[in-house]
């Protein structure tokens, strides 16, 4: 089963029905030490019988071992969510935030990857309604715990991740982070207070200057350091 699935992935197939095209490829099957390529129906039945928790417990460490060598140097983790519009009937297809195809069911891919390598470490597939960062919190915490001593130097994310749940997930693990903030009214007032300051940093090669302050937004349990650029 796994050999056929691997062969289909290497061939660039995206649907189980495409497996049929491989059944006559005896050379590829022999290269992977397989006697034959099973049918798509046999593949579906075999995967349906697999226990999700047991297979995940086997698969996640195996995937992590395949990338650990790339994490021996300081690196940055990027987190983001992508919307995948769906056509036809698919499990988890729900109406949610879909900027590309408004009104069409979708899946949400919460993705964690090595920023400078664009190497994906993990993807959490969720129904279309679960597009907010709150649904990525558990996956982020689990991945950081699994990385252990090879955790990133910095975690980066856009303004969708600057909320208390994600912040606490990172702070409880002593993880450094850089997350953007939405320009809410409190943030806008913070920006206005900076205009009269004289301690802005010297302009860099691109002409940017920066200054730091603290803010406690609604829903936050404490003040946090912010940098205004």
pLDDT at 213: 93
Residue 2 has pLDDT above 80, yes or no: no
pLDDT at 128: 79
Tell me the C-alpha distance between 110 and 94, whole Å: 16
In this prediction, residue 156 has a pLDDT band, given cuts at 50, 70 and 90, of: very high
**SS3 of the chain: helix, strand, coil, percent, to 5:** 40, 20, 40
The pLDDT tens digits of the residues spanning 173-204 come to 999 999 998 888 999 999 999 988 889 999 88
Residue with tokens 């702070």: 171
C-alpha dihedral (73, 151, 112, 169), degrees to nearest 10: -150
- Phi, psi (deg, nearest 5) at residue 156: -115, 150
The pLDDT tens digits of the residues spanning 53-67 come to 888 888 888 888 888
Give the residue-averaged pLDDT of 109-125.
Answer: 87
Task: Please choose, from the candidates 151, 139, 165, the residue with its C-alpha nearest in 3D space to the C-alpha of residue 56.
Answer: 139
Give the residue-averaged pLDDT of 111-121.
Answer: 87
Residue 225 has pLDDT above 90, yes or no: yes
Tell me the C-alpha distance between 148 and 109, whole Å: 24
| Residue 123 vs residue 37, higher pLDDT | 123
Whether this model's pTM surpasses 0.85: no
Task: Please choose, from the candidates 166, 70, 160, 154, the residue with its C-alpha nearest in 3D space to the C-alpha of residue 120.
Answer: 70
Residue 46 C-alpha from the chain's centroid: 28
Task: Please choose, from the candidates 77, 76, 72, 96, the residue with its C-alpha nearest in 3D space to the C-alpha of residue 86.
Answer: 96
Residue 205 has pLDDT above 80, yes or no: yes
């Amino acid at each position: 089963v796994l050999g056929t699935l691997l062969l289909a992935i290497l061939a660039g197939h995206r649907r189980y029905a495409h497996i049929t095209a491989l059944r006559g490829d005896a050379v590829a099957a022999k290269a992977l030490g397989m006697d034959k390529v099973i049918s798509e129906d046999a593949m579906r039945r075999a995967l349906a019988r697999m226990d999700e928790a047991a297979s995940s417990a086997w698969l996640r460490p195996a995937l992590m071992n395949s990338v650990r060598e790339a994490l021996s140097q300081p690196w940055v983790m990027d987190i983001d969510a992508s919307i995948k519009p769906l056509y036809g009937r698919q499990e988890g297809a729900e109406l949610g935030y879909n900027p590309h195809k408004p009104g069409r069911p979708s899946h949400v891919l919460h993705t964690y990857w090595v920023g400078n390598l664009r190497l994906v470490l993990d993807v959490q597939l969720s129904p279309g309604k679960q597009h907010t960062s709150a649904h990525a919190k558990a996956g982020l915490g689990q991945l950081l715990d699994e990385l252990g001593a090879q955790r990133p130097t910095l975690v980066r994310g856009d303004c969708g991740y600057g909320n208390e749940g994600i912040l606490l997930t990172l702070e409880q693990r002593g993880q450094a982070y850089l997350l953007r903030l939405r320009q809410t009214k409190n943030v806008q007032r913070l920006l206005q207070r900076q205009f009269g300051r004289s301690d802005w940093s010297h302009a860099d090669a691109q002409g940017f200057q920066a200054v730091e302050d603290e803010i406690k937004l609604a829903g936050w349990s404490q003040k946090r350091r912010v940098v205004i650029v």
